[in-house]
Structure 1
Amino acid sequence: MELRTFHHHLLQGFMLLSLISNCYARFVVEKNSLTVTSPEKIKGTHDSAIGNFGIPQYGGSMAGVVVYPKENQKACKSFDDFGISFKSKPGSLPTFVLVDRGGASAVLVADDIEEALITMDNPEEDSSSAKYIENITIPSALIEKTFGETLKKAISGGDMVNVNLDWREAVPHPDDRVEYELWTNSNDECGVKCDMLMAFVKDFKGAAQILEKGGYSQFTPHYITWYCPQAFTLSRQCKSQCINRGRYCAPDPEQDFSSGYEGKDVVIENLRQLCVFKVANETNRPWVWWDYVTDFQIRCPMKEKKYNKECADVVIKSLGLDAKKIEKCMGDPDADMENSVLKEEQDAQVGKGSRGDVTILPTLVVNNRQYRGKLAKGAVLKAICAGFEETTEPAVCLSGDVETNECLENNGGCWQDKAANLTACRDTFRGRVCECPLVDGVQFKGDGYSHCEPGGPGRCKINNGGCWHESQNGRAYSACLDNGDVKCQCPPGFKGDGVKSCEDIDECKEKRACQCPECSCKNTWGSYECTCNGDLLYIRDHDTCISKSGTEVRSAWAAMSVILIGLAMAGGGAYLVYKYRLRSYMDSEIRAIMAQYMPLDSQGEVPNYVSNDRA
């Protein structure tokens, strides 16, 4: 039997939102892209509907070859019965067939009537079909009848049909935080579906809490309820399944109104779990919800008759939650009035924007897009990780069991500097990106594919700026010089081009050092060592030797001292001569001036001349 169902098939092991709303529920078909890459005559991109079973490769894509079997074309029986195997051989492209009953990598289901795409699901609720669907671990997609006929015709004509299934845009990924919600139920007696849900919550708890504690996600639990039509609020069925006078109802867990737990018990525990989340969220510990629901499943199961308030209170106390706040949040289930918490849940069931109404339980919504596929840890984590903007994914999304690190093979085709152990390849959940790195505060610039070059200050820290560098005997030298522009110049003590090589200069051989008579020179790598004879001390700055006591002058110091003394004496003599001559000159000038007005001791009396002018 072909595995598909219509959108009006809304019952998934739980009661519907209401008996009336089935006709009006807005069910959104979640799609992915399917591209035919060959043969040329049918190349193109088409929509396909993601099945509600199997494991879609959210955030990724898969290329393969389409195979249309000559026998068992509707896959009503196992292909093993026909001796057919679709398992891909090592090195070959994955095989895409209609259904997974022989080891294929993906299943394409061609519709048998002309209609809009629908969401495939298991058509029956018996345990055998549910377990069969649970074992499907490959992605599935429904394609339109016309497109399916085109593929069949090409294959029957001998063409090799290559296609690419792409889920990279199946989940919006606008920023570095994912918002997701799980529509769940506390009922653990609804059969295979409930068992699958309980197992998922326990298995996913660890990953969910890592995401939440790290601030990478915002998780919100939700619970579906339906309301009893007003004409039946006083009926036995509504009284046993509803609280608040028929406003909030759940199906009877055992489908037996005369024994066991009632639907209203489920509604009350659902309400309690909602309030646990709200109270935990108020204390900035929203992840405690996962602890409560998993502990409640283990400690308070219906089968052991522990599904009650007393057992719930024990779990609440063990987690350090405020029981009084939770009771206040829950309100009075017998009151003839709306419950604000459950009313909010009923409003949230209605789809907003691109999201359809929540009509199937369990339902996972990631970034306002309903998840399709198997409710399993690895599959759900893929969908959540696909909701992060590229390069912002937390480490849990890059683990080996979630995605493949494409940078490990051929460096992802990106630029790399093997000598400096640098690469532009950056692994993300959707695949690698080639992005020049930031290393030790130095930003590399380039296209990330063929080249990346360091820019800004500090470039000599990165592989010595591409210049020569070497270490010997605990000493390290680099030819990198950064004065705004990096250039390669051999350091003092070396000679060469500064890029490929710098050779040591033998200062002793080239007589660049230790030239004093008492000096002995020894060349070292990048430098030299000078020693003095006897008890003399070498002064490197002056290239000379002096006595360690400082009382005797040797070599150049003695000569320098004589010169200095000589210069001092010559300067002093010149100053005395200059001073004597200047003084003599000044004295003669002063005497000449004074002689005009008074006789000096060395002169006679000056005669008094009378003018011949008459008055």
Structure 2
Amino acid sequence: MTMRTRQSVFWCVWVFLWGSCVARFVVEKNNLRITSPKSLRGIYECAIGNFGVPKYGGTMIGSVLYPKSNQNGCKSFDSSLSSKPGTFPTFVLIDRGDCFFTLKAWNAQKGGAAAILVADDRIEPLITMDTPEEGNGASNDDYIEKISIPSALISKSLGDSIKKALSGGAMVNVNLDWREALPHPDERVEYEFWTSSNDECGPKCESEINFVKSFKGSAQLLEQKGYAKFTPHYITWYCPETFILSQQCKSQCINNGRYCAPDPELDFSKGYSGRDVVVQNLRQACFFKVANESGKPWQWWDYVTDFSIRCPMRQNKYTEECSDQVIKSLGVDLKKVKDCVGDPSANVDNPVLNAEQDAQIGNGDRGDVTILPTLIINNRQYRGKLSRAAVLKAICSGFQETTEPSICLSPDIETNECLQNNGGCWQDTAANITACRDTFRGRVCECPIVQNVQFVGDGYTHCEATGSLRCAINNGGCWKETQGSRSFSACIDDHTKGCKCPPGFRGDGVHSCKDVDECKEKTACQCSECQCKNTWGSYECTCSDGLFYARDNDMCIGKYAATVAGGGIVWLVILILAVAGAGGYAFYKYRIRKYMDSEIRAIMAQYMPLDNQPEVSSQAHHEDV
């Protein structure tokens, strides 16, 4: 972007904040589906209001009501707009004009409406319904922050068509759909918060500070777990070169008019100046830069929260010294922060604020950032109330299906559709296993992984355990039964899937395996001397005349043969050991014993003559010794 382009854009921002200006503002939209009457059935676009709570990631079904009186909604409704039991919630249709959009929504909400549809009063592209501008008195009303119903602006032609259908006695049923209002491409949400350290701009500033305090815990959790990437931003603009020496630019700008912010009280003669705001905004941006480089970007939330508590403007503590104390208490390198801030009086560019000004220019579907505060989620501008619950819902809608963190699936954020009729998915109630997986937008039916065992199937009517460990989970979905001390199973660990009845049983292996009567079917114990008795899963066979039944050969044999057949191996081992023992004894007696005898005789011969040896002379004996 060229310098001239950037200067022209931020001159536009300057004018926008002080008067009016046409900026590249993007209207965020959602879908409106009419399901009846048939003549209006179809999908239409509507513009999301910049107040209330849009149901990002979800839908709402309602029946349209066009009141007979107070059709512009500028007064409280005399009769209730609440729906009757058993009917759809009421979506009240209100005409544009005569009062602020927020007042229309507030009156509709007090009347019991579940949502408000505002019909445009002129033929034009859809616009964003915004809150009242500062300084007109209406923004001081506290009802704006209490608006919780969603709102949508519809075109004049659609509004006229709905009114005509209602006047003809037709029931107009509508589905407001925000499921695709924000992109949800992957498992991480990237979001930006355009804010300011100024805390003296009335209810909007108070709302912004309260949001930061309440959202801090959720933001830090998402960041620390790697679910989200957050970046704070600050709006500044150039002072036109012609006015650099004016009191306005000197009071509201730093670095020779390069970076400016409005005076907090809009009064140059008292309180803090816009210059003070720019410097503190720069310190907050630099704090984030230093914390991010140290791997702890979530500390920004601690700094901004603590600064708003310890250093407010109304207590005259909005100073550099107070800011330094907060930075030190958080353990962040203060020198690096100061080096990043630089000299606000120098006639030089500041790279951090230059980057902030470049980021204000819209890209893709985002549009320019021209107002504060602005929240951008996955490069799309958020519309609606700046509250923890509303913003968290919007962020949760930015995750790809089934990748949402657990914080997005809590009861206060979304409805668990698996709790009703198991979401229409397969389940095994006995093993407490289900294919229903709750998501922020609804649910998906997919066969689960339980204790490292993968289930396969369509997820709706069938899931089956696979793999070598499958028998540990609900016996692999196979038949299993115990009678007395005996248990049989149709699940075999060697099989990757399927069930097979064990020997002695017959059946499908899943629902049942019935005992086979081997005696009746004559598959065993059929010899003439055999008496067969069926047992559960097996049989017993006995022989007459004291014979022994050989199960492997299915025959009766004599006791001696049975003994040989049954214990032949044992006797053979005993026989081998006996022969080895006898051989060892013979070897000892005839070989080792003979050798030992000859040695003993030789030793004894040296001390006493033996009968069969000649005598040796004493001289010879002495010499030997």
Q: CA deviation at 1:482?
A: 4.6
Conservation of the 8 A alpha-carbon contact between 1:122 and 1:129: no
Distance 1:411 1:204 in 2: 32
Q: In the superposition, relative to structure 1, how do residues 431 and 489 fare at CA in structure 2: closer, same or farther (>3 Å)?
A: closer
SS at 2:44 equivalent: strand
SS at 1:119 equivalent: coil
Conservation of the 8 A alpha-carbon contact between 2:26 and 2:366: yes
> What does residue range 401-420 of structure 1 map to in structure 2 within 5 Å?
401-420=412-431
Distance 1:437 1:494 in 2: 31
SS at 1:279 equivalent: helix
* Structure 1 residues without counterparts, runs of 5 or longer: 1-14, 514-522, 530-539, 542-552, 569-615
What's the counterpart of residue 236 of structure 1? 247
What's the counterpart of residue 360 of structure 2? 349
What's the counterpart of residue 175 of structure 2? 164
What's the counterpart of residue 131 of structure 2? 122
SS at 2:217 equivalent: helix
Q: In the superposition, relative to structure 1, how do residues 487 and 438 fare at CA in structure 2: closer, same or farther (>3 Å)?
A: closer
Q: CA deviation at 1:468?
A: 2.0
Conservation of the 8 A alpha-carbon contact between 2:464 and 2:497: no
> What does residue range 387-536 of structure 1 map to in structure 2 within 5 Å?
387-470=398-481, 477-484=488-495, 486=497, 488-491=499-502, 498-501=509-512
What's the counterpart of residue 58 of structure 2? 60
Distance 2:336 2:467 in 1: 57
Per-residue displacement from partner, 1:449-507 (whole Å, max 9, x unpaired)?
Answer: 22233344444334223322245789754221254464544546878775455678999
What's the counterpart of residue 517 of structure 1? none
Per-residue displacement from partner, 1:336-361 (whole Å, max 9, x unpaired)?
Answer: 11111111111111101111100111
Q: CA deviation at 1:556?
A: 2.5
> What does residue range 523-602 of structure 1 map to in structure 2 within 5 Å?
556=563
Per-residue displacement from partner, 1:101-157 (whole Å, max 9, x unpaired)?
Answer: 212111000000111000001234335555222211000000010110000010111
> What does residue range 279-358 of structure 1 map to in structure 2 within 5 Å?
279-358=290-369
Which stretch shows the higher mean deviation, 333-342 or 417-426? 417-426
What's the counterpart of residue 601 of structure 1? none
What's the counterpart of residue 359 of structure 1? 370
What's the counterpart of residue 44 of structure 1? 42
Distance 1:559 1:67 in 2: 93
Conservation of the 8 A alpha-carbon contact between 1:460 and 1:486: no
Please identify which structure carries the higher helix content. Answer: 2
What's the counterpart of residue 579 of structure 2? none
Q: In the superposition, relative to structure 1, how do residues 46 and 495 fare at CA in structure 2: closer, same or farther (>3 Å)?
A: closer
Distance 1:209 1:563 in 2: 74
What's the counterpart of residue 595 of structure 1? none
What's the counterpart of residue 71 of structure 1? 69
Q: In the superposition, relative to structure 1, how do residues 398 and 485 fare at CA in structure 2: closer, same or farther (>3 Å)?
A: closer
> What does residue range 81-120 of structure 1 map to in structure 2 within 5 Å?
82=78, 84-97=79-92, 98=94, 99-100=104-105, 101=107, 102-120=111-129
Letter in 2 for 1:173: H
What's the counterpart of residue 600 of structure 1? none
Q: In the superposition, relative to structure 1, how do residues 527 and 332 fare at CA in structure 2: closer, same or farther (>3 Å)?
A: farther
Q: CA deviation at 1:90?
A: 4.0
Q: Following superposition, which runs of at least 4 residues in structure 1 exceed 6 angstroms of deviation?
A: 472-475, 492-497, 503-507, 523-529, 557-565
Q: 2:230 aligns with which of 202, 219, 228?
A: 219
Letter in 2 for 1:166: D
**TM-score relative to the length of structure 2:** 0.77
Q: Percent identity?
A: 66
Distance 2:159 2:16 in 1: 36
Distance 2:291 2:251 in 1: 30
Distance 1:406 1:324 in 2: 52
Distance 2:366 2:570 in 1: 99
Q: In the superposition, relative to structure 1, how do residues 472 and 314 fare at CA in structure 2: closer, same or farther (>3 Å)?
A: farther
Distance 1:175 1:318 in 2: 36
Q: In the superposition, relative to structure 1, how do residues 460 and 24 fare at CA in structure 2: closer, same or farther (>3 Å)?
A: same
Letter in 2 for 1:19: V
Conservation of the 8 A alpha-carbon contact between 1:35 and 1:164: yes
Letter in 2 for 1:343: N
Distance 1:562 1:61 in 2: 79
Q: In the superposition, relative to structure 1, how do residues 389 and 54 fare at CA in structure 2: closer, same or farther (>3 Å)?
A: same
Matched, 1:17 2:13: yes
Letter in 2 for 1:60: G
Q: In the superposition, relative to structure 1, how do residues 349 and 132 fare at CA in structure 2: closer, same or farther (>3 Å)?
A: same
Q: 1:270 aligns with which of 281, 294, 298?
A: 281
Distance 1:446 1:555 in 2: 53
Letter in 1 for 2:353: L
SS at 1:357 equivalent: coil
Distance 1:293 1:163 in 2: 42
SS at 2:142 equivalent: helix
Letter in 2 for 1:132: Y
Distance 2:444 2:300 in 1: 36
Letter in 1 for 2:42: G
Conservation of the 8 A alpha-carbon contact between 1:110 and 1:148: yes
Per-residue displacement from partner, 1:146-176 (whole Å, max 9, x unpaired)?
Answer: 1100000101110000011100000000000
SS at 1:265 equivalent: helix
Conservation of the 8 A alpha-carbon contact between 2:467 and 2:497: no
Conservation of the 8 A alpha-carbon contact between 1:58 and 1:168: yes
Conservation of the 8 A alpha-carbon contact between 2:465 and 2:497: no
What's the counterpart of residue 548 of structure 1? none
Distance 1:445 1:67 in 2: 48
What's the counterpart of residue 203 of structure 1? 214
**TM-score relative to the length of structure 1:** 0.78
* Structure 2 residues without counterparts, runs of 5 or longer: 1-10, 95-103, 526-533, 541-550, 553-559, 576-625
